[in-house]
Structure formats: structure tokens, C-alpha cells
Amino acid sequence: MSQRDDLPPDDRQPQDGRSRFERPTPRPPQRPAGNQPHPGTVRRRPEDRPPRPEPPVERPRDDQPSQERPRQDRPYNDRPRGDRPYAGGGRGDGPPSRDRARTDRPILTSHQPPPRREDRPRRDERQAPPPDVVSGLHAVEALLRWQPKRVQALYLWASDARVRARLQELAQAAHVRVETEPPRGFEHEQGNPQGVAVRVTPFEYADLERVMPLEGPADGTLIVCLDSITDPRNLGAILRSAAFFRVTAVVIPQDRSAEVTPLVERIAEGGAASVPVVQVVNLARTLGSLRDRGIEVVGTALDGATGDLRTYKWARATALVLGAEGSGIRPLVRKNCDQLVTLAGPEQMPSLNVSAFATLTMAMVRASQPAPA
């Protein structure tokens, strides 16, 4: 037996003596030229063709289940493989895809606005609060007590019966009319849940000659002078602290300074109504006038100070000068100061906010000199 029967037919020695590498390669049948059909092709007539199936009826999107599969283009570490949870052999054995559409939520398109409450207007349709309305319980109560001539109307829509009774009594004593509806711009105001506001006249600044007479200051006089404090919130916070420590007056320049507005009065929580606020044209000249009346002017600075705030001996009548957080007090104002004090802090936090520093300084002054009776 010259040939092995256990070999495949292709590996056996052919009968004609040629090897499998010398045998001719069979060629596929050539397509006939022209429009002649390929041999073995059967053409069907149009009437013999099966009818075309009807397209499926699309169901609503809320009822149609998502046909998406888990994403296969995730990073390698995010795919469930090996001993990871949900690892399996099939393509759909993994966890639900994060990109799979949720059918239990309403579908929002670019031309449909998000759902909103019907009784609440859009933000761009709301009216801004009037510039002559002060809100806040403590600010309103202080205005009715200390400056009732400025109050034109009291808007009282609070739900607290005790608040309504107390403010109605103050309004009756000051002969101020009371309205139970909120003013324009406060119908949907979320920042005033107390339900109290007053309409006032423009703020009236005090006169320095009346606050500080020429015959000399009394013991415990403390005047806070603010230089270049342009943030109304810092001004309101300083006025609130000044009312707490019974400051004699607060002096602000006419230029490069925030003015007393309804926002400042609301943040001051009544401090703007109980502490005299003086607005001057030239702060440096005003400091010179205070020095002539026997008041020691002490400025605060981060550099070039000669004293420490913790150990400084305060005079019986002091004018405290505070500057902006970045630039500090201006050079001309600095020249009119008798002393410069500083409060050294750590390297990672060398300074404080001006309102916090003012509160701390006023507390140190009142610790050494009590307020006048």
C-alpha cells in the first residue's frame, strides 16, 4: 500500500503522479456578458413576488422600552470583567446602562420649558423691590422707634400675631398708616419671610457740629471713620456693630464710599437708625478738625504701624480710622492720624474682613474705656 488511508484526500498522492501544488486551480464560472442572467438564476415575475410586509406601528415613547445596550466604549476598568460584579458571558449580562433612557420621567426637548408653578412668575418677569422700601423686622422696628418721621407707610403681611400687634402699636403711636398687602416687588420675595416692610424717605445724614460740639468731647467718645469702604454689606455690618458698642458717630466720605441705602439699613438691623451717620466732603480735613477738638485719631494699617492693637492704651476720646481691605487708608488720611496700630495675624491669614476687624477693634476700645452714660 503506497498511500496512507488515514491522510485527508487533499494530502494523498494523486493518481496522475502530480502533487497538490502542481494541480490547476479551479476558476469560478464567468458571468455572461450583457444583460444575460447568471447560470442558475431564476427570475420572478412581479405578480409572483411575495407581498411586502407592513411597517411596524410605532408605540408611544413612554410605553416603548429602551433598546440601547450597555456602552462598549467605556474604559477598561469600568467594564465588568473577571471577579467584578455582574460579570457574565453574554453581552446583556452587565448592569443597566447609565445612558439608558428613563421612561418614568417626562421627556424635555429644547423647545419645551421646564415645568414651573403657575402661581409663580418667571425670574425675568418679577419686579425689582422699590428703592425706598426697607424690609426686615429689626430695621422696621428701629425706624418706627427712632426715626418715625421718615416712615410713610407700614406694610404688614406677617403671619405672626405677636409681630403684627407690636408693630401696629408702634405705627399707631407714630401716626403711620398700615397696609396688609406687600409692596410691589415683594409678592414672591423669598428673602423676606418675616412679612414686614416700610416705605421711607431718603436717609438723612447727621451734622458733625451737632454730633461733636466745639467745647470738647465727653469721656468715652468713640467716632468710627471709614475710608474707601465701598461694599454696602460691610457698611451695614459696621453700623450694626457700632450700635451694639454705643459708638458716638460713624463718619464716611462723600466720594469712594458706599451710601446708606435700604439694603444697608436692612443689613444694619436698625443700626443706621440709632447711630448718627455723618457724610463729609474731605475726610482728611475732618480728621484734622477732630484733632483740634481734643480727640486722638488712631488709624489701622498692616505696615508702618507703631503700636499693637492688643496692648494699645486708648485715650478717653478716640477717633478710629478703618480703611479698605486691599489698599487700606489713603496716604493723605494716614498723615492726619496721631497713631497707627495693627493686629498681626498668621502667615496664611494676615488680615480680617473690614467689618469683622471693626467689630474686634470697637470691642477692645470699649474694654478700656466705657461708653458715656
What is the identity of the amino acid at 261?
Answer: T
Residues 43-68: what's their mean pLDDT? Answer: 64
Residues 262-288: what's their mean pLDDT? Answer: 94
The answer to whether residue 256 scores a pLDDT higher than 90 is: no
Which position has the higher pLDDT, 276 or 38?
Answer: 276
- Residue 124 to residue 71: CA distance in whole angstroms: 41
- Residue pair 128/188 in contact (Cβ under 8 Å)? The answer is no
Which position has the higher pLDDT, 4 or 131?
Answer: 131
The radius of gyration of the chain's CA atoms, rounded to the nearest angstrom, is 43
The answer to whether residue 125 scores a pLDDT higher than 50 is: no
Burial class (CB in 10 A: 0-12, 13-18, 19+), 56: exposed
Tell me which of 94-103, 142-151, 162-171, 303-312 is least confident: 94-103
| Domain positions in the chain | 133-200, 208-368
Tell the CATH topology of 133-200.
60s Ribosomal Protein L30; Chain: A; (3.30.1330)
Reported as type and span, the H/E element at residue 320 is: strand 317-322
Query: C-alpha cell of 363?
Result: 470691642
pLDDT at 349: 84
309 Cβ neighbours under 8 A, 6+ residues apart: 300, 341, 342, 343, 361, 364
In this predicted model, what pLDDT tens digit does every residue of 189-222 receive, in sequence order? 544 567 899 999 999 999 998 888 777 788 899 9
In this predicted model, what pLDDT tens digit does every residue of 17-35 receive, in sequence order? 666 666 666 666 666 566 6
Which position has the higher pLDDT, 341 or 194?
Answer: 341
- Residue 305 to residue 341: CA distance in whole angstroms: 5
Query: C-alpha cell of 88?
Result: 457574565
pLDDT at 271: 93
Task: Identify the band that residue 150 occupies on the pLDDT scale cut at 50, 70 and 90.
Answer: very high
Q: Can you list the alpha helix ranges (DSSP code H) found in 89-231?
A: 137-146, 161-173, 208-211
The answer to whether residue 290 scores a pLDDT higher than 70 is: yes
pLDDT at 307: 86
Strand residues in 40-188 grouped as ranges (E): 133-135, 151-156, 177-179
Residues 55-71: what's their mean pLDDT? Answer: 57
- Residue pair 150/143 in contact (Cβ under 8 Å)? The answer is yes
The answer to whether residue 357 scores a pLDDT higher than 80 is: yes
pLDDT at 213: 77
pLDDT at 18: 62
Superfamily of domain 208-368 in CATH is SPOUT methyltransferase, trefoil knot domain (3.40.1280.10)
pLDDT at 189: 54
Which position has the higher pLDDT, 290 or 84?
Answer: 290
Task: Identify the band that residue 11 occupies on the pLDDT scale cut at 50, 70 and 90.
Answer: low
Which position has the higher pLDDT, 238 or 195?
Answer: 238
